[in-house]
Each structure stands twice: as structure tokens, then as C-alpha cells.
Structure 1
Amino acid sequence: MIALLSRLDSLPARIPHELLALLARLSVGTIFLRSGLLKLDGWADGTTLTLFREEYRLPLLPPEFASYLATAAELSLPLLLFLGLFTRPAALALLGMTLVIEIFVYPNAFDTHGVWAVALLYLAKFGPGQFALDRLLFARAIPNAYGRA
């Protein structure tokens, strides 16, 4: 029985970082991109601005500025994750956005935001994996962070 448990315990160690990083990039990127596309659709009928004025109510930022900033971030940063380009800064920016959403907008949604945060922290710590433009562009300049090209 202990041998079986030991075998089962060693299985996750065989999951390659490249697979985990790619899955994290695609899944969390898709969440934010879909949100950005919804915001983009909402510009025509005013729902995006109404959400920022009446529901989100971020402190310190005017709703107009916050709505443009969030839409731009949700449309651009996921594309960087998908490409694996500037992955760590993109992940940290989306993590910051996640924290703002958790603290100021939907404070009772930690279960959802926690999952996003884990994926983004994983990418920030371990990088985008082998299947990323970061590795192609920066492996020689920062070999410890991206491996050798």
C-alpha cells in the first residue's frame, strides 16, 4: 500500500513545467480577454461606463479613466500571455488587476480570484515555459530566467 501511495505521490512531479505554464497562460488569459471583449461590446450602449460608475466604483480613479484602463489591459495583456511575450510583467499587471477586483469590486469572490492569482503567481515566478516568445527573445540575455536558447 505504501509503495502504491509513493508512486501516486510521485506522478505530479512528472508534469512538465511547459505544460503547466502554457495551461496557466491560456486559461487565465482567456478569462481576462473575454472580460475585455464584453467591455468593448458595452461601449456602444454605455453599459461599460455604467458598470464602472454604478457597480465597480473604484476609489481614486474616475469611472471614465478606470473603464478605459481596464478595457485596454484586458484586451492587451492576455495577448502577451498567449504569445508568451513579456509574460512576467503581464502576469504581475493582471495580478494587480485581480487584487483591485478582489479588494474593491467583488470582495466575496476570493475563491475565483484566488485561482486566478495562483496561475498568475506561477507565471511570474517560473516564467512562460519553453513555448514562448520570451524564451526565444531573452534566453541569451537572461539565461537563468528563460533557459538557454
Structure 2
Amino acid sequence: MTRANEVKTPEERAAEALAARSGHEEPCGVEWQRAGGPFRPAASGSTPPASATPSASSSRSSAPTRSSARTEDSDANVVPVPQLIRDTVLLLARVVLGVVLVAHGLQKALQGVSATAQGLGGMGIPLPEAAAVITMAVEIGGGMLLILGLLTPIAGVLAGLVLAGAVVFAHVSNGLFAADGGWELAAGLGVGALVLAVVGPGRFSLDRLLLRRLRGPESPAAP
């Protein structure tokens, strides 16, 4: 018996000791498993598989991703701007840009298509009659849409394209300053229109009102 006890493994001796304490010959429903150290008893089915438990490393690796995304978003505005001020500035930009466009369009319309086409042709713009009609329509119609904040992306892109054509065909050869027929005014108006098309009209606009109607009543935020 002494020889038999000597050749028993540590697991067998531990099982016998556990059975002696519990009054059974063998530990009932006991499994032996190694978990980073010496063997220890564990109830059958009590230990979940390793794949079911989320590892700490995966949760730690996801945290820097979320924080870096927030950092990239916040880099766009170095100085936080309140929403009210942002919307007010967008409204002011829309109104000023739209008024200038409408004024230039009405000026051409009062001169008439023929006189406007003649002036555009003298500046080297191709198809002057068609260019005159398109320019007047975009300046008057697009300017009104920008003032109202209605279909802002479309109005901004169309105004930007028309003004880009004016810069390329009529003003770039005259230098920078508008007093000499240069490109500064047309380029500034065109870039401003494109910025509004990309950024949006803000809350004080018909676009925002239509969007809220299409979305319907907003559901209350979840706690």
C-alpha cells in the first residue's frame, strides 16, 4: 500500500483527500483543469470557455480607436463655436452672397440678353447668347435660393460653376483686382458659394425646415 501511494499522482492524492472530506469515494461532478498554475477542482460546466469571455486586451484596443476618432472630429474646430453663432454666420453669408448674385443677375437682365451676350462675347466667353441666359438664370435664381436657404447644395454648386467660368474666360487675364477687371470678386463669390454648398445653410433656412418635416417628430432620447 505504501508503494502504491508513492506512485500516485498529485491529482489522485488531492481527489482522495477531497473524497475523504466529503464522505465519498470519488469527488462527484468534479473536473480537474489547469488555469495558469497548479491543478484545482472546478464544478462541471461552471467555467465558461475562454472564447466566451471578452479579453481585456480587446477592450483596451477599442478604446484608443474611439478616442482617436473623437480627436479627429474635434480638430476641425480649434475654437469651439456655439451653434447659434454658427447658424447666424451662415445666414449672414447666404444673404450677402445671394444679394450680390441677384444684383448682378438683374443688372444683366435689365440690359437684355442681346446686350449681355455681346459683352460676354467681347470678353472671349464661348456661345455668348447661351452663356448670357444661363448666367442670368443662375445669378438670379441661385441667389434667391441661397438667401432662402433652399436647395442650398444645388444653388451653391451652380453659382460656383458659373463664376468659375467667368474667372477662366473673362477675368484671369486682367490680374487680381476687380477695378481692373480682375478675378478677385468672381473667385471670392464662387468659393463662397461652394463653401455653403458643402457646409450647408444652417438652421435658419428652408432646407432645415423641410428636412425636419421629412424626418417627422424626433423620438425622445434614450436614458
Q: What band does the TM-score fall into relative to the shorter chain?
A: 0.7 to 0.9
Structure number having the greater helix percentage: 1
Structure 2 unaligned blocks of 5 or more: 1-77, 176-181, 219-223
Partner in structure 1 of residue 131 of structure 2: 66
Which of 192, 195, 206 aligns to 1:122? It is 195
Structure 1 unaligned blocks of 5 or more: 1-8, 143-147
1:117–1:48 CA distance, 2 compared to 1 (3 A)? closer
2:162 pairs with 1:97: yes
Find the residue that maps to 1:16 and give its secondary structure: helix
The answer on whether the counterparts of 1:80 and 1:86 sit within 8 Å (CA) in structure 2 is: yes
Distance 2:131 2:191 in 1: 25
Distance 1:18 1:71 in 2: 29
The answer on whether the counterparts of 1:36 and 1:75 sit within 8 Å (CA) in structure 2 is: yes
Letter of the structure 2 residue corresponding to residue 49 of structure 1: A
1:64–1:111 CA distance, 2 compared to 1 (3 A)? closer
Q: Report deviation, 1:75.
A: 1.4
CA deviation profile, 1:103-125 (whole Å, cap 9, x unmatched): 11111334323422342233122
Partner in structure 2 of residue 32 of structure 1: 101
The answer on whether the counterparts of 2:101 and 2:140 sit within 8 Å (CA) in structure 1 is: yes
State the Cα RMSD in Å: 2.5
Distance 1:77 1:121 in 2: 12
2:110 pairs with 1:41: yes
Partner in structure 2 of residue 51 of structure 1: 119
Partner in structure 1 of residue 210 of structure 2: 137
1:110–1:13 CA distance, 2 compared to 1 (3 A)? farther
1:121–1:73 CA distance, 2 compared to 1 (3 A)? closer
Greater shift in the superposed pair: 79-88 or 131-140: 131-140
Higher relative contact order (CA 8 A, sep 6+): 1
CA deviation profile, 1:71-128 (whole Å, cap 9, x unmatched): 1111111111111100111011111112111111111334323422342233122210
Q: Report deviation, 1:22.
A: 0.7
Letter of the structure 2 residue corresponding to residue 19 of structure 1: T
Identical residues among aligned pairs (%):
29
Distance 2:119 2:86 in 1: 38
Q: Report deviation, 1:141.
A: 4.8
Partner in structure 2 of residue 6 of structure 1: none
Aligned residues: 131
1:115–1:129 CA distance, 2 compared to 1 (3 A)? same
Greater shift in the superposed pair: 108-117 or 27-36: 108-117
Letter of the structure 1 residue corresponding to residue 128 of structure 2: P
Q: Report deviation, 1:140.
A: 5.7
Letter of the structure 1 residue corresponding to residue 91 of structure 2: L
Structure number having the greater strand percentage: 2
The answer on whether the counterparts of 1:48 and 1:67 sit within 8 Å (CA) in structure 2 is: yes
